[in-house]
Structure 1
């Protein structure tokens, strides 16, 4: 399940910067809504802009956001920085890229929060909005 979560386009990771939100250290969130165009996010640049827009609407400013997405030329792992990653409630998700991609990461249904610090409906919820 954790590997499925990492593979989704909705998982977002901050590259760098300061923020003002539920927790100023927030550097990881699952998007609360899509772009409205299905999987057409306008490439990596458009996906990153969607992430930034959601974060800014939630009061998180001054960060550069990278959607956890890959292309044929770019691996998502190479886009997200070195860590650590922390959710909107201040819970550490992972210290580094290796731990983020291991079974020991801190991604659970309870910690994979959206940009507003809210849980995302997943397995066992109606409607199920994510594979969390």
Structure 2
């Protein structure tokens, strides 16, 4: 009996079927933008989407369509747009291929987490987490309620305004408030509180970042 041809064939088959760990990794479909904005004027939904697409492309993830997680009061059809309706059904994974949420229900019932809500380069967002650099920048623009629907009057005029008389709803990417308070609404990744106004995203702990999803 000569087992060697059989063993060699089996090894080749196993190698071709295994594909390596990289082939088994889920697609990257979520990140927090590394790009910041000093005001709430993001160029509207189109400008925010373009930012997500550009950042994804810079790290080799531009092969799919990316959308900003933002709600507006007047969308392309002159009707309100909910952020949750822009991002597909899930699941979503971060740049480390870690699960963010399996579906919309799970996404909108979870809290922020500095170790999961990473930017497209895999970096944590400055926040209230232990050891975080300063300044705090965990306020992420969303214009949304906790369920992902529009928060009226809190979208910086649909992300086109840098005025002092309008504001935006923001979430905490790390799910933490002052003194690491992790109770709602401070734990919310998408609807923790309103920004001071749209002329400056820094007060109260922001930098004008957005969430990016690939549906």
Q: What TM-score results when the alignment is normalised by the length of structure 2? A: 0.47
Report Cα offsets for 1:28-82 as digits up to 9, x if no partner: 1011122x45211111111000111111112212111110000011000110100
Deviation at 1:24, TM superposition (A): 6.0
Which has the larger Rg? 2
Q: Where in structure 1 are there 5+ consecutive unaligned residues?
A: 1-22
| Residue 78 of structure 2 is aligned to residue 70 of structure 1 | no
Which residue in 2 is equivalent to 1:81? Answer: 88
**1:27–1:82: structure 2 CA closer, same or farther, 3 Å change rule?**
same
| Residue 91 of structure 2 is aligned to residue 111 of structure 1 | no
Cα distance in structure 1, aligned partners of 2:119 and 2:82: 23
Q: Where in structure 2 are there 5+ consecutive unaligned residues?
A: 1-24, 74-79, 139-171, 175-215
Deviation at 1:120, TM superposition (A): 1.2
**1:24–1:58: structure 2 CA closer, same or farther, 3 Å change rule?**
farther
4+ aligned runs moved over 4 Å, structure 1: none
Cα distance in structure 2, aligned partners of 1:55 and 1:121: 20
Which residue in 1 is equivalent to 2:34? Answer: 32
Cα distance in structure 1, aligned partners of 2:39 and 2:50: 15
| Residue 128 of structure 2 is aligned to residue 128 of structure 1 | no
Cα distance in structure 2, aligned partners of 1:61 and 1:109: 24
Cα distance in structure 2, aligned partners of 1:54 and 1:39: 19
Cα distance in structure 1, aligned partners of 2:123 and 2:89: 25
What RMSD, in angstroms, separates the aligned Cα atoms of the two structures?
1.6
Question: SS of the residue aligned with 2:65?
Answer: strand
Which residue in 2 is equivalent to 1:100? Answer: 107
Cα distance in structure 2, aligned partners of 1:97 and 1:24: 18
